[in-house]
Structure 1
């Protein structure tokens, strides 16, 4: 006698088959299934559209060793992860399945990673972010709305080797309309592709450095914000290729200039109310929001090992460049690592905080999850924020710098009981091992050599 499947499994399998059929009807032939490793590289396995249902039901095999891969595709090892043994199952989240407008015939979905027996993989960064979001809901009754700013630099053709001159396709000034005119077709195609994919763009504009642009999207939950960071980046990359351009999201493309950040905006919500406004705390934030932000501020030196994860990050994290190099916070203070944006008069729900010291070499799932962990630790042990900073700390000399190198940030990370407990030993150990190995990889390298070695990897 045969056994019947349970209803949830049946519905899941029916949904997967329906999604696969929908892709075929849309002319999609392949689906890119992505995750982001601890070096911040988006890795992929792709399946034909007809096999998507099987991939969702059974998973796609992949080695766990990529959690200890470095930016140059070499590998290290860690106490729990490393070596050629073992296998995982990549299972796409079909709720995030997206037909890619800039890659005709392709779709995309992020994956969660599982052990062969179906149990969650302890070092899955996406499930870590989801776990922290669940903790916020269960422990504090709050949800986080988050969103990443995406900054990139675009050049003609391929990125050259160290010492060669970069060929920027624009000549206009920083924030100048000239750049929009020079690349209007390119920027229009980015907006068109993202709109076709259901991504709500808030703004797009030229940034400070040559060939640099920034794009921000509407906020989402912690996992959704990280998913969007990946989708936006790969959409920009695809549109760039179609225009004969190369987009780099690396912390620095040329040393000495203003680099590409990956700033994280966040707000806390409960029962439809934004806790970053309408309260008795500094600049109208509630005491709960203040405690959360105080927790983030307290952990920032350790969080740098998550959000500024490569030696190249510390070429960007310099004073007087709006990079957030100082361990302080302030109202609309662009030189502080933590910037608070108060609600404008007559505009409710818009108040938020911005973590400025992070860049796009970071794994966005680790960023959202780790910032959440730090904030929740602050709420569990509430303390007021210190007095806010203003002006440029490089001129006033009144604020402390954040760690100025990856080894220093790694030391703070390894001493963080908050992040160790939240990440769990397998993921915590893998992150630390990758940071240590990349510090050694670039030991003695010049800024130009570091920039050239990493600008084509992100």
Structure 2
């Protein structure tokens, strides 16, 4: 197996003091968790194709796992959607080993899975340095790079999922009421009640929950956090939804497309850029300024940086072949690279928030990303793009107030409104050409993303939309 090249950034190492600190913390948790009937801890990471994978330890092994990790193969970085394995320059093959360490500060008993606790995991090499393809580590590094410029980000995901009560591989909507209708809540009231109780017990602050547009589809929003916390929370929310669904004899799908003729599941990201830490008196640069819609210059530049790189970012935020069955015009999916005030057809929607609270709530929403994305990697790439916008003092083009698809093509061209890539092949080409993303994320990550995307393109080379949807439906 080839060696990982790492990055130019200094790599912290787990020294003896840090290992002992983690062991002591794990010992304290292991003493408390039996009272909560916890027997085992599931440690999760999200792979390159967006699937949450896990290794678990009995409670008696938590101390060792915290200090020294659990062995795992680096080959997981090149798993495809169907669990087949490809080969890249920096990942693949049977040789090599990594250490999977639980993040103890996020460890929580799973209310939807009695007897189990959950913790996100970090992956380290055998010598205790972060694995350069570990998406959580890459996100941590991008957060630190922004902090070095006196900037921080608050972010949250919107979680969409489809609920089925069908048998086997078929999708059968578990509720039949109208889109956004109270009827759906009545049909699934016990299920939704138990889900909210489980999330509350797990420390997740739910902002709202409602039926969505597609048959059997629901949406849940959570409170904003720092980027790493938000990505962790998304994984916890999804696994809680999944487990509570199973206890009600239902199945949840977060796939971009569960039926070829239906709208798909997005996974929108809301981001606000703050000057300094909001917990220490920082201020939101998305409000209180004289720029577009009240943005300050730094906030506008951050948003413009994300907008500039959306074609390349799609290879990470809309990473599956099925993603492009969802990403079509006039479906509120954000199929055009443009922005607008509260415009749900724009890929970048600016949200001012209610009058009187805009200094806290103003943010940009990226609408073109979906449920197949690795949240850590998606946020890391978005922060790279936003930071490049700040460094280059980017400005936003004219906003769009309506469906871009309804504009005359000549008008779209005049205003610089371009359709986003309509296939994974197109977005991957944009991603590989983007030197800013390559330099920030590292050659190993870029190569690994590319080989996985090409592997899945080959997997579905001659597949119909029905075949793509069926193969993808229950993987995320």
Range class of TM-score, shorter chain: over 0.9
C-alpha contact 1:256 1:315 (8 A) present in aligned 2 = no
1:146 and 2:155 aligned: yes
Give how far 1:427 is off: 1.2
C-alpha contact 1:159 1:456 (8 A) present in aligned 2 = no
1:100 and 2:104 aligned: no
Q: What are the Cα deviations for residues 48-73 of structure 1, in whole angstroms up to 9, with x where unaligned?
A: 01111110011000000010010000
Name the structure 1 match of 2:459.
Answer: 441
Aligned length: 449
Name the structure 2 match of 1:245.
Answer: 250
Runs of 4+ aligned structure 1 residues displaced above 6 Å come to none
How do 1:37-116 residues align onto structure 2 when only pairs under 5 Å count?
Answer: 37-116=47-126
> Whole-Å Cα distance in 1 between the matches of residues 390 and 16 of structure 2?
41
Match of 2:473 among 428, 434, 455: 455
Root-mean-square deviation (CA, aligned residues, Å) is 1.2
C-alpha contact 2:348 2:364 (8 A) present in aligned 1 = yes
C-alpha contact 2:140 2:228 (8 A) present in aligned 1 = yes
**What are the ranges of 5 or more consecutive residues in structure 1 without an aligned counterpart?**
none
Distance 1:7 1:124, change over 3 A: closer
How do 1:38-437 residues align onto structure 2 when only pairs under 5 Å count?
Answer: 38-138=48-148, 140-160=149-169, 166-271=171-276, 272-347=282-357, 348-397=359-408, 398=412, 399-437=417-455
C-alpha contact 1:154 1:247 (8 A) present in aligned 2 = yes
Name the structure 1 match of 2:8.
Answer: none
Q: What are the Cα deviations for residues 193-247 of structure 1, in whole angstroms up to 9, with x where unaligned?
A: 0000010000000000000000010011111111011000000000000000000
Give how far 1:157 is off: 3.9
- The SS at the match of 1:187 is helix
Q: What are the Cα deviations for residues 331-388 of structure 1, in whole angstroms up to 9, with x where unaligned?
A: 0010010000114221131100000000010000001100000000111111210000
Give how far 1:160 is off: 2.2
> Whole-Å Cα distance in 2 between the matches of residues 313 and 158 of structure 1?
24
- The SS at the match of 1:418 is helix
C-alpha contact 1:144 1:267 (8 A) present in aligned 2 = yes
Distance 1:157 1:362, change over 3 A: same
- The SS at the match of 1:202 is strand
- The SS at the match of 2:194 is helix
> Whole-Å Cα distance in 2 between the matches of residues 327 and 11 of structure 1?
47
Give how far 1:9 is off: 4.6
> Whole-Å Cα distance in 2 between the matches of residues 8 and 435 of structure 1?
36
**What are the ranges of 5 or more consecutive residues in structure 2 without an aligned counterpart?**
1-14, 277-281
1:17 and 2:7 aligned: no
Distance 1:314 1:159, change over 3 A: farther
C-alpha contact 2:259 2:469 (8 A) present in aligned 1 = yes
Name the structure 1 match of 2:5.
Answer: none
Normalising by structure 2, we get a TM-score of: 0.93
C-alpha contact 2:19 2:68 (8 A) present in aligned 1 = no
Give how far 1:11 is off: 3.4
- The SS at the match of 1:123 is coil
Give how far 1:455 is off: 0.3
Give how far 1:25 is off: 2.3
